[in-house]
Amino acid sequence: MKKLRKAIDSYIDQIEQKWKAFSDDRQRMFTKIFFATYLLLSVFAFLQIRSKLANTPKILPGTSIKSVPSEPDRKKNPGINSHQKTLQ
């Protein structure tokens, strides 16, 4: 485990030295590129999730719930009506 930790630490030190070897302008450019890439991936993921949600069937307001849990289901899962216990 100590060998692995030492190998990881030395790798991180090497990467930090390479980063510090870049000029400030180059570091700024890489930071902007990484941020822009992150932003594009985030927007793409958000749009993909939103499009999936838009394609799912919706419950129309004004419609009623067609199935109510039966008594045995309530006994199996007492959390279904736990809010009613606190209100009484």
Total length of the chain: 88
What pTM value is reported for the model? 0.51
Please give the span between the terminal C-alpha atoms of the chain, in angstroms, as a whole number.
57
> Could you tell me how far CA 87 lies from the centroid of its own chain?
35
Q: What is the pLDDT along the chain (88 residues), one digit of tens a residue?
A: 899 999 999 999 999 999 999 999 999 999 999 999 999 999 999 999 988 887 776 666 666 666 666 666 555 666 555 555 555 5
Residue 39 CB contacts under 8 Å (≥ 6 apart), including other chains: none
CA distance 43 to 39: 6
